[in-house]
Amino acid sequence: MELAAKLAADGGTILRPVKWVIFGEPKDAPGTWKKVGEREEPSPRFDLAPGRYVVQTIYDKARTARRINVVKDKTTIMTVTLNVGALRMLSRLGAVGEISQSAEHLVYRLEGLGSKPKLIGTSDTPGALMRVSAGTYKIVSRYLPGNSVAEATARVTPGMISPVELDHNAGVASLFAVHAVNTKPVNWVVTDHDGQVVAMTDKRRPSLVLRSGTYTATATAAGVGKFRKFDVKPGDNLKIEVGG
């Protein structure tokens, strides 16, 4: 059996590695399926006995399965159309795209009205491609540590790249405890205007991505706690000194 795959019906053959998993139906156990082969290459060839098989194709986050009959003394050739496109996700903090914090992107497939979105993958590489089956997706972007979250919806078309840009209404606050220069550890607690904890860390100089608002940073070292209130606006890159 010779196999190949295409992104779309009118597209060319995929030349990148594709994962193929073959399941056969044993003659002594009809109706059941047993794994009989697996390869990860663009166009593999499998030597199979005559019978019924299921060919599973996996390409990044997209997958499909097809049934096929293998006939004696005849080469079976199958080209699978995956109906796959790609998401390219990029998150930004206000007007300061040069800040180095990377966002985590969670990708959910929207199956239909009333159905629960299904998480299919995550990515924290800015601008990287995630190949997915055609359909509608919700992308949730979040910066960690911090409390900034942004969402977007994208429609993926076979053979096409769908760019998704998520702008965060947030800034960066880099914290430094002046009263604990020579003391370890430094325990930080950051709360929002309502007193809710948004971040906790024992890093000496943490950098947090915080959505616009008013915050209080408390640094405790060697039993001594100091605090400072501060405001964050979109695109800020703040240096917050506590205990000075």
Q: What is the per-residue pLDDT across 184-211, written as a single tens digit (0 to 9) for each?
A: 789 999 999 999 999 999 998 999 999 9
Q: Say whether both 64 and 108 belong to one domain.
A: no
Beta bridge partners, 58, equal 19, 63
Query: What is the signed CA dihedral for 75, 48, 20, 41, rounded to 10 degrees?
Result: -60
In this prediction, residue 30 carries a pLDDT of 84
What is the pLDDT averaged over residues 167-190?
90
Which range of residues forms the domain containing residue 91? 84-168
Q: Say whether both 183 and 236 belong to one domain.
A: yes
Residue where a domain stops, chosen among 116, 136, 168: 168
Q: How far are the Cα atoms of 3, 103, 217 from residue 146, in angstroms, in the given order?
A: 47, 11, 12
Q: Say whether both 15 and 76 belong to one domain.
A: yes
pLDDT, the chain, mean? 92
In this prediction, residue 111 carries a pLDDT of 82
In this prediction, residue 96 carries a pLDDT of 53
Does the pLDDT of residue 79 top 80, yes or no?
yes
The CA radius of gyration of the chain, in Å to the nearest whole number, is 26
Q: Say whether both 163 and 88 belong to one domain.
A: yes
Number of compact structural domains in the chain: 3
In this prediction, residue 210 carries a pLDDT of 95
Residue where a domain stops, chosen among 81, 114, 134: 81
Q: Among 38-52, 152-166, 181-195, which is the least confidently predicted range?
A: 181-195
Greatest alpha-carbon span in the chain = 84
Q: Are 147 and 211 in contact (CB under 8 A)?
A: yes
Q: Which of 220, 210, 209 is nearest to 243 (CA)?
A: 220
**Percent of the chain surpassing pLDDT 70:** 97
Q: Which residues of 31-45 are buried (b: 16+ CB within 10 A; e: fewer)?
A: eeeeebbebeeeebe
φ/ψ of 86, rounded to 5, equals: -150, 150
Q: Tell the residue number behind the tokens 């914090």, with chain if given.
A: 101
The CATH code of the domain that includes 156 is 2.60.40.1120
Q: How far apart are the first and last CA of the chain?
A: 73
The CATH code of the domain that includes 40 is 2.60.40
Residue where a domain stops, chosen among 105, 140, 168: 168
235: alpha, beta or left? (left if phi > 0; alpha if psi -120 to 50)? left
